[in-house]
Structure 1
């Protein structure tokens, strides 16, 4: 019987979570996501206060961001992360198990969780991280 479900989040999370300020523009958040190849950013004002996703940004833009006209680009620079983020997102502790993380993602229908210790973001765990664990453990069997 595999013990992969007992593996801790801290062993598989991305420790270099890219965070954004609530006062950053949507354009800045979008740029951070593209440059760092992520789909979600924890929103931090000394501690975690929310999360913004690529989908959140797209919901507030009438066309594809890449094809946006000048008016849309201006809108992206005028709207802030605070206006569209999800407040008080679901989080997980670094010592939680991968099984707990997966169950929480399924229960709340999210694809990633900020990993938080004492109110501070210490990483991100995503469905891709969990898939990587599964694939690597299959390779070892």
Structure 2
């Protein structure tokens, strides 16, 4: 990344934030992701949880019933978050350090999502 680049998360994050209830089915999560052309949903439960395409694929590979298994059984808990004023350079470093592709953006409450796709698009 260009060391002079001062682009902030707020300039590239995806909004509005797409959410899903923890008791929704894995199938519903997959349907919503396809419908919205996104790869993660924030789960509206306890602290910092998301369900991603990787979580859904893992559930299918494990033979779980996508119609009956709730998102809460496969979601990723305690995800790292970022603030809207963070520099994209810092986001890229965080994604690499934590090995993640999505970081919810929080400012008092969830306000958006920044993904590795956003980082890649920003760099091109």
* TM-score, normalised by the number of residues in structure 1: 0.79
Corresponding position of 2:95 = 105
3-state SS, counterpart of residue 115 of structure 1: strand
Corresponding position of 2:32 = 32
Corresponding position of 1:10 = 10
Give, in angstroms, the shift of residue 25 of structure 1.
0.7
3-state SS, counterpart of residue 78 of structure 1: coil
Corresponding position of 2:57 = 58
Map 1:1-141 to 2 at 5 A: 3-4=4-5, 6-45=6-45, 49-62=48-61, 75-118=65-108, 120-135=109-124
Structure with higher helix content: 1
| Off by >3 Å, runs of 4+ in structure 1 | none
Output the aligned Cα RMSD: 2.0
Number of residues of Structure 1 aligned to a counterpart in Structure 2? 123
Change in Cα spacing, 1:48 to 1:16, as seen in structure 2 (3 Å) is farther
Query: Given that residues 42 and 48 in structure 1 are in contact (C-alpha distance below 8 angstroms), is that contact kept between their aligned partners in structure 2?
Result: no
Give, in angstroms, the shift of residue 48 of structure 1.
5.1
**Structure ID, larger Rg:** 1
Unmatched runs of 5 consecutive residues or more in structure 1: 64-71, 136-141
3-state SS, counterpart of residue 114 of structure 1: strand
3-state SS, counterpart of residue 93 of structure 2: helix
3-state SS, counterpart of residue 61 of structure 1: helix
